[in-house]
Amino acid sequence: MEDVFSTLDWSAPPKSLSLPLQALWWLKKGGLRSGGPEWEQAHLILQNGEGVPAFDWIHALAHWIEADMGNADYWYRRAGRRRSTRSVSEEWNLMALELSEKTE
34 located within any domain: yes
Helices (H), the chain: 19-29, 37-48, 53-65, 69-79, 88-103
Residue 80 is predicted with a pLDDT of 96
Residue 7 — pLDDT band, cuts 50, 70, 90?
low
Q: Which domain holds residue 68?
A: 17-103
Nearest to 62 by CA among 11, 97, 25, 17: 25
Using one digit for the tens of pLDDT, what is the confidence trace for 13-44?
A: 888 889 999 999 999 999 999 999 999 999 99
Higher per-residue confidence, 10 vs 72: 72
The number of domains in the chain is 1
Domain assignment present for residue 82? The answer is: yes
Question: In this prediction, what percent of the chain has a pLDDT beyond 70?
Answer: 89
User: Higher-confidence residue: 101 or 49?
Assistant: 49
102 band by pLDDT with thresholds 50, 70 and 90 = low
